[in-house]
Structure 1
Amino acid sequence: MNDEERKKFIEAVKEALAAKLKAAGITDENFIAGIKGRLDALEQIVADGGTGRRLSAPGIANPFDGEFATRVKAMHDGDSKLASFALKGMSIKRLKALVNLPEGGGSNGFPTQPQRGPTVGPAVAPLTLVDLLPSTPVGGESYEYVQLTRTPNVGVQQSEGDQKNETEFDANLVTTKIATVAHWTHASRQVLADNTQLSNILSGILNIDVMAKYEDLLINGNGTTDKIHGLVPQASVFAHTKSHPVDRLSEAIAAMWATGYVAQAVVLNPLDWSDFETERADSGDGQYVAGGWGNPAAPSVWRLPVARAAGLAEGTALILDTRRITLLDRQSVTTAVSSEDRDNFIKNLVTLLAEMRGGLAVYDTGGVVKVDLTGT
């Protein structure tokens, strides 16, 4: 039997088998298509006379013996006596389970394990201000320090015996409170047990939200209900003379230097930094001033690093002498889990609580300067 005859023979067998299955009341087209597909694999066996290969499949123990070709031909020719053969250890239901997957539409689909993707938490703005400022460990609920200011009056003695010039100092004792920043959520104990990654994800989200609130208090805290007296309320307002926003920053940095402060960082709203990045020249071909999208500038301005803080109002910049400022670290952010909160035990719930304790000390308000980027 040549290749062409063999192909025609197999096709005829498939059609004959399909007809007999339908005549027996089996009308599942997906099942019949699966059987036809498996017969395609028998072509080589037929070419070898039914004796050259051994096929194996789950639950089938060498169903194709030496008489296979003869019996298949008998089926094709309609000889029911010779055409009968057995798939040992295999029932129709089990065979259907092998040739039908759930998505194939069959009634007896073989279940498959779905692939589970990672759980991705919600977006959180990066916290750069907290990383920028120095930190001081504290051990109580409050922190005291002295804000010292002076009015310099240095002069030259004109004649021997003359009284020399006097400089006056003003010392102000400041007590700052340590704020507890916290929040919590409920979760099902069964859900956490069945999803091993979920507990860590929830803890991470709760922690980063606590730090985001802390950064907002560092910038805008009112010092009373917030307990933390933020940078903006304590900042010295700079009286600029320049019209361009970036030039105003340079002017303020120079003014701080002239009075003994060394500017070490700039805080901007992310949208204001975007305006700086996308600024174009008024002349030429309108090229980008700061490198453009293909070669963007690093987050710095006038050689100072830029901390982008979403909590700072748009149109406002802070220039910091970080030697005059410190974070007060009473307790790093932590997450506690409890099943004993209220009626958690009888409801199979757990409470996840994230909290931290901290504050802010501005030793010298001259080291915090606020610049208006939008006004005239």
Structure 2
Amino acid sequence: MNAPMTPGLRAAIAAGQHLKVKDGTNLDPILRAIEDNNKAVDARLKSIEGSAQKVIEATARLDEMDQKMARRGGVGEASSQPETWGQEFTSAPELKEFAAQTSRPGRLRMEMKTTLTTSPGSAGALVRPTRDDVLMMPRRAVMVRDLLPVIQISTGSVEYPRQTERPAGADTVVEGALKPESAMAFDMVTVASKVIAHWIPASRQILDDEPQLAGIIDTELRYGLALKEDQQLLYGSGTGANLLGMVTSSTAYVAPITVAGAT
């Protein structure tokens, strides 16, 4: 490929033909003109390369559009996809004739085939009910254990001293008399630890398929334990595997005053 020459380069070459080779100072204008010419050629080549790249990109976009049009059936061609029921209804010749009439009749008669309904023999199997969140049963407030101190143990029994006698000898004393003596006594009580437990059988498959079920089971089982614990703390009989409840171990209430015929 021959590089084109600018007018300045041609003039410099023509002037250089009359120069002597030994006169090196007169070659500077010619070299500068050649350098300017090379820069101009490089700029033109870059412009040509940019234009060629744009042509390639435009060609690729046109090819992509042609492929999309070919998949859709092309412009002006019938679509390869079947018409929906709504499209068949709107494109029916009877409907177009009815719309073109100037004095329209009161009704448009069209032939109807089998109608899909929600009956089991039709499309009823496709109807899905809306599934809302799980509605759990109401809970009773559990608070008896929160009123008591709780400690952890590592043995099967607990020992604690219980007061059995309270000092009750206090009395008034005259000057010089002996002061009355009182007594106080304790005994050691051993209480065996009790176990409150329950469980629900569930397959591994149902727990893997429904993660929410694992959380529901865990929450409900813990609530059941807390509810039974509250009942034992209050009304446990103290025999067998039962705790000794506070109501069971307390003294029965006796009214200090009885009103005859109270209403």
TM-score (norm 2): 0.50
Query: Could you say which structure has the larger radius of gyration?
Result: 2
| Greater helix share, structure number | 2
Higher relative contact order (CA 8 A, sep 6+): 1
| Greater strand share, structure number | 1
TM-score (norm 1): 0.36
